[in-house]
Chain A
Amino acid sequence: MTDLLTIASSALSGYRAALAAVGENVAGADAPGFARRDVRLASAASDPAGPLDAARGTGLGVRVAELRRARDGLAAARLRDAQSTRAALEATHTWLLRIEPALQPEAGGLSPTLTAFNSAAAAVAADPASTVKRDLFLAAADDVAGRFRATARALGEQSRSLNTELGSEVADLQATAGRLASINERLVHTREGSSPRAALLDERDRLLSDLAERAGIEVSEGARGTVTVRLGDSFGPMLVGPRGAALVELDPGTPPGVRIAGEGGSARVAIVGGSIGGLLAAAARAVDATAALNGLAAAFAGAVNAAHQSGADLSGTRGAPLFATTVLAAVPAGANAGSAAPALSRSDPAVPLAPDGYVLAFEGGATGWRLARADGSAEVSGPGPLTIDGLRVEPSGAAAPGDLFLIAEQSGAAALTLGISDSRRVAAAEPFTVVPAAADSSKARAAVVPDASAALPPAERYRFVFTPSGGVEVRDGAGALLAPEQPFTPGTPIAGAGFRLEVTGTPAAGDVFEVASAALTPGNGGAMRRLSAALVGTGGAPGYAEQWDRAAGQLSRAAAGAHDDLASARSIESAARSAQEAASGVDLDTEAAKLIRFQQAYQASSRIVQAARDIFDSILAIG
């Protein structure tokens, strides 16, 4: 009769474990990482070694053979991959959408401003004498410079906050990897098939899924459920290994990256997938856009300045650069404790600045401020203002000892400013114009090309008169001789004052070409027409507005691509999650059915115990 009791009690404990597993499943139905528990009951084998059991014909009931976590490793790995891909696209898409308005705001972007500047230039070219149009041109130029600066600033802000998010994601990756390493350690010491072990494995799977959200990983399972995690594929750098988690850190370079400490020191690693991979991809786009913006600013300012400098303003003077392309800036060190902000100015712009820049340090005490060339070749110190190489630095605000500033000339889009403010200084005119002044029977033609020659004294107009002896003499507007007769060779230009006269054809005696300097004809719009043509783009080359549309369009296309890919990545992830859930997930209906079944089995077992007791009692009652 003991057998019956033993069998019944084994069944009771077996079904109790099974019911507990159902309870656990229902409780963990929505917990991330939780895998369904299945209790496998096996018949308890009788122990043939015992002498008393040798003749027994019955078994010993059931025992809990295994608490099994329902898990499909392949489905889990597929889900992790799908998760990485989706997380990467999500991060890329989110950030590209944040960067996009910096490049192409809904109103007043760089491209429309450039187009408006083109129009302003065309208006001046059509009507160079109009002060209103010149003023509008300067205003449009100021707008363009301001828009370049604003775009650079907005792009810089987005890049900085992207880097901040990247930093926190990398820190999370590091922390998760650390937790996973400690789970690995604890897994070694837990009993196979036990409930605490199942809980540890749940936690392990949850952490793996967290890692996959941040970076593409390759997981290989080792002894006793420990895992080795590599970044990327199975040849990638080890993130979590037998010896713990690797040290991962953000490399805030351009473009930013992730460094991982290995045996040969810390090295930059490629991360594909996961939010970090996605953020890195977006950061690379931001770097591209910044480079395109700075390149465009340099090319635009260069072309405009060249055209403007080749023209002459209303007083006949050659044009100054329309845009200043460099700006002095004091960049405070990250560790500065004070709130000082030095004001910079050039006391003597003629002195060249040191190419490496300058270091401004607050030493406090008697020294005060120290301003030194970055290469250490010269320095000045005092309470301020300080002047070195014609650079005047006026410190203001409260500085803490040890505060540092790096002072250097900056260029690129952020440094673009309007160089002139007087609309009379807008150089719209061609510096020299030439007309055939006398009846040109020979059909010879002349063109005037500005250069640096100084063969003639400066004058408002020059008359190049071809003589019967085949030479040429130069007179001014009043007829006074500026240069005596000199031989003329067809094909050889005649040097003037700041220009040369290129004559095609053979001029006859008496032919006169008259050259007027811009001092005489300041109202022509030749130089501005050239500038305007350079802006729109000549010979099939795209204009600057179009170049920017292309550069910004690349980012938009990337964002659109990420959006489309994201939709498919989401559905792939959804399918992978379904597959994984089918293997490990909890179906409440099934659990309810199991609950009923195990409950009935448990109740039946308890009836067996009662029956055994009744039988035992009835035997006792015989006596």
Chain B
Amino acid sequence: MVNASRAQLQAQTERMRSLSEEVAARQAAVSTGRRFARASDDPAAARQAATLTRRGAARQDSLAGLEVAGQRLTAADATLGAVTDQIVRLRELALQARSDTADDGLKSALAAEARELSASVLRLMNGQDASGTSLFAGARASAPAFARDAATGAVRYQGFGEPDVIGSDDGTAVAAGFGGDRLLALPDGSSAFDLIDRFAAALTPPIDPAAALTPEERATTLDATIAGAGALVDQLASARASAGARLARIETERDAINAENQALVETRSALTDADLAAEITSMQRAMLLLDASRQTYAQVSRLSLFDQLR
């Protein structure tokens, strides 16, 4: 047995130092609520926690993208609903104009209402989301989707191509808008605006009486308007169905991401959070040992043969 005083002293203080370190580490864990303060305390767990944090951030990004897409699609859906109402109204106007009892006064009133309808549809179709993105201009999202040509008075589509896809390659990508030209396109290549313009023109007596439509021609136009409006309503309904389907998918994705995030947070918490009961128990234990070893050391070191010399 080594009974050399210096070696004894050093070994004892070394043991007490490591006990103090243990107490300090446990105390830090309890006060911060984190199992370790720095990465070097547990490099593997820290690395894994960082990976989980990054994955969580990526999920949050997808969520934010879905949020934008959701807002845009909701706005588009509401707008398309309003446009549908207007087209339905156009059909009613055409039916009224078609009836035999319609006199000139009523017709001009109907024409005036149709022009208002056209302006209203134009305003609706040029709708933007919160950040100024046109809902129906396809890829050309910074410009209004439709504009009235100053020279001809006809409304023309200004957009281009397909709307931007929101989301990344992780399967959350969703097209957040519509190309407005297809929504309001008629089989003959003209648009809803042309249809309204033709309807209004048919009910308005021209300046040159020679250019006035025959009753048969007017009836054809009105029939075409009724048919066109019906087709448009169907078209808009299917677009709204598509928007609804996309919104439903966004909802599903959002739920999935939220559930995944919850799992990520739980896994991360298991890696990094302090188990308070365990921490406090080991702190108590270390403190008890430290106290005991201090007292024994004080007792043992008091024993010396020199004290017995008289």
**Contact present for B64 and A123 (CB under 8 Å):** yes
**Contact present for A129 and B133 (CB under 8 Å):** yes
User: B35-51 toward A: CB 8 Å interface, digit per residue (1/0)?
Assistant: 00111111100110011
**Contact present for A574 and B133 (CB under 8 Å):** no
Say yes or no: A126-B141 contact (C-beta < 8 A), given A101-B38, A106-B38, A553-B46: no
**Contact present for B168 and A532 (CB under 8 Å):** yes
CB neighbours (8 Å) of B141 from chain A are: 128-129, 521, 523-524
**Contact present for B43 and A122 (CB under 8 Å):** no
**Quick check: which of B3-11, B82-90, B233-241, B283-291 contacts chain A, the rest being far away?**
B3-11
**Contact present for B6 and A126 (CB under 8 Å):** no
**Contact present for A553 and B39 (CB under 8 Å):** yes
A116 to B60, CA, bound (A): 11
The 5 closest A-B pairs by CB, nearest first: A585-B4, A130-B131, A559-B40, A523-B141, A592-B305
CB neighbours (8 Å) of A118 from chain B are: 57-58, 61
**Contact present for A104 and B133 (CB under 8 Å):** no
Chain B nearest Cβ from A333, distance in angstroms: 37
CB neighbours (8 Å) of B2 from chain A are: 578-579, 581-582, 585
**Contact present for A586 and B61 (CB under 8 Å):** no
With an 8 A cutoff between CB atoms, is A552 at the interface?
yes
Contacts A119-B60, A123-B61, A577-B7 given; 11 further ones with Cβ under 8 A? A100-B40, A127-B68, A433-B139, A521-B140, A523-B134, A533-B169, A574-B14, A586-B4, A586-B5, A592-B308, A592-B309
Say yes or no: A574-B167 contact (C-beta < 8 A), given A516-B140, A587-B3, A588-B305: no
**Contact present for A556 and B50 (CB under 8 Å):** no
Say yes or no: A435-B162 contact (C-beta < 8 A), given A516-B140, A589-B304: yes
19 pairs, CB–CB < 8 Å, chain A vs chain B: A97-B38, A111-B54, A122-B61, A133-B131, A435-B161, A514-B161, A523-B140, A525-B166, A546-B50, A560-B43, A567-B18, A574-B14, A578-B2, A582-B2, A582-B4, A585-B2, A592-B305, A592-B306, A596-B309
With an 8 A cutoff between CB atoms, is B164 at the interface?
yes
A552 to B11, CA, bound (A): 35
The chain A residue sitting closest to B305, CB to CB, is A592
CB neighbours (8 Å) of A556 from chain B are: 38-40, 43, 46
**Contact present for B5 and A587 (CB under 8 Å):** yes
With an 8 A cutoff between CB atoms, is A529 at the interface?
yes
CB neighbours (8 Å) of B47 from chain A are: 549-550, 553
With an 8 A cutoff between CB atoms, is A132 at the interface?
yes
Interface residues on A, range: 35 or more
CB neighbours (8 Å) of A589 from chain B are: 3, 304-305
CB neighbours (8 Å) of B296 from chain A are: none
CB neighbours (8 Å) of B162 from chain A are: 435
Interface SS, A side:
helix
**Contact present for A585 and B5 (CB under 8 Å):** yes
Chain A nearest Cβ from B270, distance in angstroms: 19
Say yes or no: A549-B51 contact (C-beta < 8 A), given A514-B161, A574-B14: yes
CB neighbours (8 Å) of B58 from chain A are: 118, 536
**Contact present for B131 and A127 (CB under 8 Å):** yes
- Listed residue (B51, B161, B162) with the most chain A CB atoms within 10 angstroms of its CB: B161
Chain A nearest Cβ from B71, distance in angstroms: 9
User: A123-153 toward B: CB 8 Å interface, digit per residue (1/0)?
Assistant: 1011111111100000000000000000000
**Contact present for A585 and B6 (CB under 8 Å):** yes
CB neighbours (8 Å) of A514 from chain B are: 160-161
Chain B nearest Cβ from A426, distance in angstroms: 14
With an 8 A cutoff between CB atoms, is A221 at the interface?
no
Chain A nearest Cβ from B259, distance in angstroms: 20
The chain A residue sitting closest to B130, CB to CB, is A130
| Residue in A131, A523, A546 whose CB lies within 8 Å of B51 | A546
With an 8 A cutoff between CB atoms, is B142 at the interface?
yes
The chain A residue sitting closest to B71, CB to CB, is A127
With an 8 A cutoff between CB atoms, is A115 at the interface?
yes
With an 8 A cutoff between CB atoms, is B69 at the interface?
yes
Say yes or no: A129-B131 contact (C-beta < 8 A), given A119-B64, A521-B161, A578-B11: yes
**Contact present for B131 and A131 (CB under 8 Å):** yes
CB neighbours (8 Å) of A596 from chain B are: 309
With an 8 A cutoff between CB atoms, is A64 at the interface?
no
A524 to B164, CA, bound (A): 6
**Contact present for B4 and A129 (CB under 8 Å):** no
**Contact present for A119 and B306 (CB under 8 Å):** no
User: B251-291 toward A: CB 8 Å interface, digit per residue (1/0)?
Assistant: 00000000000000000000000000000000000000000
List which B77-99 residues lie within 8 A (CB) of chain A.
Answer: none
A567 to B60, CA, bound (A): 42
CB neighbours (8 Å) of A115 from chain B are: 53-54, 57
A578 to B133, CA, bound (A): 79
- Listed residue (A116, A570, A592) with the most chain B CB atoms within 10 angstroms of its CB: A592
**Contact present for B11 and A97 (CB under 8 Å):** no
Chain B nearest Cβ from A430, distance in angstroms: 9
A330 to B55, CA, bound (A): 42
**Contact present for A129 and B65 (CB under 8 Å):** no
**Contact present for A595 and B140 (CB under 8 Å):** no
A523 to B158, CA, bound (A): 14
CB neighbours (8 Å) of B132 from chain A are: 129-130
A529 to B168, CA, bound (A): 7
**Contact present for B6 and A586 (CB under 8 Å):** yes
A315 to B4, CA, bound (A): 84
The chain B residue sitting closest to A589, CB to CB, is B305
A128 to B164, CA, bound (A): 10
**Contact present for A585 and B39 (CB under 8 Å):** no
A133 to B160, CA, bound (A): 24
Chain B nearest Cβ from A26, distance in angstroms: 8
**Contact present for B5 and A588 (CB under 8 Å):** yes
The chain A residue sitting closest to B4, CB to CB, is A585
- Listed residue (B10, B53, B54) with the most chain A CB atoms within 10 angstroms of its CB: B54
CB neighbours (8 Å) of B131 from chain A are: 127, 129-133
With an 8 A cutoff between CB atoms, is A557 at the interface?
yes
With an 8 A cutoff between CB atoms, is A612 at the interface?
no
The chain B residue sitting closest to A34, CB to CB, is B6
Chain A nearest Cβ from B286, distance in angstroms: 15
List which A551-591 residues lie within 8 A (CB) of chain B.
Answer: 552-553, 555-557, 559-560, 563, 567, 570, 574, 577-582, 585-590
Chain A nearest Cβ from B251, distance in angstroms: 17
Chain A nearest Cβ from B173, distance in angstroms: 9
**Contact present for A588 and B306 (CB under 8 Å):** yes
CB neighbours (8 Å) of A416 from chain B are: none
A514 to B159, CA, bound (A): 12
With an 8 A cutoff between CB atoms, is A229 at the interface?
no
